[in-house]
Structure formats: C-alpha cells, structure tokens
Amino acid sequence: MRKDLLTVENLTDTDLENILKLSELMKRERLTWKRKSLDGKTIALIFSKSSTRTRVSFEVGIRELGGNALFLDQNDMQLGRGETIEDTAKVLSRYIHGVVIRTYKHDDVVELAKFAKFPVINALTDEFHPCQILTDLFTMREFSGKLKGVKVAFLGDCASNMANSMILAANLSGLELRLASPEKYAPSPSLMKMAEESEKGEVSWTDDITSAVEGVDYIYTDVWVSMGMEDEKEKRLKELKDYKVTNEIVEAAGEGVRIMHCLPAHRGEEITSEVIGSHKSIVFDQAENRLHVQKSIMTMLLDEDWKDILEEG
C-alpha cells in the first residue's frame, strides 16, 4: 500500500484483499477490538463540502482506534484565504499524523499528499470517492461472496465521482460494470480507455437503461446533482429523468437484484422512496460498512504492525 489513498487506481490485488480482510475482522470484532492503532495520533478532517456519513464514520472510527479526530472546515483555515497547499502541508506535518480531506479539485488532494509527510485519505473530490467505492466492494463481496464477474448496473450521471470510482473499481476487482445514461452524461473517455486496456473487469456504456439492468446482481445509483453542481440542478433533473431507479426498472433486472446507493439519496429524483425502502435495498449496510472499511484503511496507513493484526485475526 502506498503512503496515501487518493483513488483506487494504484491499489494492487493484494492491497484490495488486505483491505477487505481487515475490514471483515474490524466488523466482526468491533465490540471486543483491543488494538489501538491510532493511539497518540491526531487525524485532521479537512472538509469544504457537506458530509454526514464520511465525517461521522471517520470521527467514530478514529476514536474507536484510540486516536484524536480534529475537524477543520477548509474555509476557516488560511487555505481559504490563499495560503498555499504546499505551505499548509508542511505546517500540518509538524503537528498531525494524517489527513482525511473532502474538497472540490482532485489535483488539490494530490498536491497536499505530495508535500505532506503524513498519509492523506481522499474523502471525496469532484472526480473520485475511494473510501465509498472500497466500501461498496466490501459490501458486494459480503452479499455475493465474490467480486469477479459480479454484474453491476450504474444508472444516472456516469461522468460523476461515483461512476469514475466504479470504473476504477471494476478494473481492480473484475466486476462486470454496465453504465447507463444519456449521451451527455456518458463516462469519461479516458477512464473507459483505461478500462478497455485493463486485464480485469468488463466495462460498457449504453443509453438504454432496460438492457443495462437485465440480469444484474446490483443496481447502483447516485444523486444527479453532485455537490458543487447546484447551478445545473434544473437542467440535470430534466435531462436525467428517464434514468430513475423505479420498481419497473428493478423488475426488469430480474430476481435477486440488490439496490445500492452511496447516499445521500434524493428520493423521487434518481430513485423512488419505494425502491430505497424495499427489502432489495442494501443502502444502510453500505453506510454502516463505511466505518469498518475506513478503520481498516487508517490502520493499514498508520499502524506499521497492521500485517500482524491481520495474521493474528
């Protein structure tokens, strides 16, 4: 595993297996877990976008691992008044042991990681959401017992941070991913090229939502108006309206399909309330698993004896 987790692009098969195994252990033994991997360590959470799951699951996870969580709103920092990311990274390196950052430009997170002595964990940028997608892989493996060949249909904004992350996750894990959207919201050509060149995973795109969901194990969707895109709201709701996850779409997928959403959901927009509340929906399992998977990631990045924990487990 590298120093930072910025996307899942550079993770190896072994990294993924270790993250998933350690997450399983963290989940199973949460109530009796003794090892304080973050003892004496302070992890700063620098957020410039809203969050419920990510903020709370990181803060709780840091405490459960014996560390201190320091929440910082990016706009209250000198960063918000023009101090450079480089200087911020160098200063923070004198105080703290890790940063979890949620911001707009992915390059800002790359820049922070470049100058920081501590591990940087991307908690969502406009382009990627690695903690969410690793959790989604964990959740799919929990329900399906495997990842290779598991069929997932991603519906809606296929150029979003979640769709981008799902494409990289398919390359990493061997998922069969079918993306469906209007042409205007088609996936990034460079990520699709990367998927084509990848030895694992099968990634395709269509504008036909019904054929995309046929026979899949999971239907995945995300909001149509991601954070920072509020000005485009009206236009997006109109242009994406035929890509909503409804009962009809769930039925078209066939028996056994499960419904995933990274949340927050905008019920009635990308998904109906009925579908999200149905027995096929595993969205709250996904939300819970954020805690276990992020504890595993932090342990692997910040506890030099993490391999012993895995072996002993």
Give dist(CA 250, CA 235) in Å, integer: 25
Measured between alpha carbons, how far is 157 from 232 in angstroms, rounded to an integer? 13
Cα 245 to Cα 18, 27, 159, 170, 184: the distances in Å are: 33, 30, 18, 21, 19
- Minimum Å gap between C-beta 223 and ligand NVA is 5
- Strand order across the beta sheet in which 202-206 lies: 202-206, 176-180, 151-155, 218-221, 258-261
Q: Which does 52 bind (CB under 5 to 8 A by kind): ligand NVA, ligand CP, none?
A: ligand CP
Binding partner selected for residue 176 from ligand NVA, ligand CP, none, CB under the kind-specific 5 to 8 Å limit: none
What is the per-residue DSSP string for 81-96?
Answer: GT--HHHHHHHHTTT-
Q: Which C-beta is closer to ligand CP: that of 10 or that of 52? A: 52
Per-residue contact track with ligand NVA, 220 to 239, x per CB under 6 A? --xx--xx------------
- Binning the chain into helix, strand and coil, the percentages to the nearest 5 are 50, 15, 35
Q: Is there a catalytic annotation at residue 102? A: yes
Shortest distance in whole angstroms from residue 74 CB to ligand NVA: 16
Residues 151-190 vs ligand NVA: string with x where CB under 6 A? ---------xxx----------------------------
Of 98-106, 141-149, 169-177, 218-226, which part binds ligand NVA (CB under 6 A)? 218-226
Out of 290, 292, 294, 303, which one is annotated catalytic? 290
Q: Of these partners, ligand NVA, ligand CP, none, which one is at the site of residue 7 (CB under 5 to 8 Å by kind)?
A: none
d(CA 200, CA 207): 23
The strand pairing partners of 120, in sequence order, are 99
- Cα distances (angstroms) measured from residue 95 to each of 68, 116, 250, 266: 12, 11, 50, 39
| 97 touching ligand CP, by CB under 6 A | no
Residue 261 is among the residues annotated as catalytic for this protein: no
**Residue 173 to residue 73: CA distance in whole angstroms:** 34
From the list ligand NVA, ligand CP, none, partner contacted by residue 216 (C-beta under 5 to 8 A by kind): none
Task: Select from ligand CP, ligand NVA, none the partner in contact with residue 222, using the beta carbon and a kind-dependent cut-off of 5 to 8 Å.
Answer: ligand NVA
Encode 184-204: b = buried (16+ Cβ within 10 Å), e = exposed: ebbbbeebbeebeebeebbbe
**Contact call for residues 151 and 257 (beta carbons, < 8 A):** no
Each residue 254-283 as x (binds ligand CP by CB under 6 A) or -, in order, gives --------xxx-------------------
Environment class of residue 51 by beta-carbon count within 10 Å: exposed (0-12), middle (13-18) or buried (19+)?
middle
* Nearest distance in Å: CB 202, ligand CP: 26
Amino acid sitting at position 156? G
- The entry of ligand NVA, ligand CP, none near residue 162 (CB within 5 to 8 angstroms by kind) is ligand NVA
Site string for ligand CP, 33-62 (x = CB under 6 A): ------------------xxxx--------
Catalytic residue among 53, 106, 131, 132: 132
For residue 118, CA distances in Å to 4, 297, 298 come to 8, 14, 12
Site for ligand CP, rule CB under 6 A:
51-54, 124, 132, 262-264
Indicate which residues carry an active-site annotation. Answer: 102, 129, 132, 222, 262, 290
Site for ligand NVA, rule CB under 6 A:
124, 160-162, 222-223, 226-227, 262
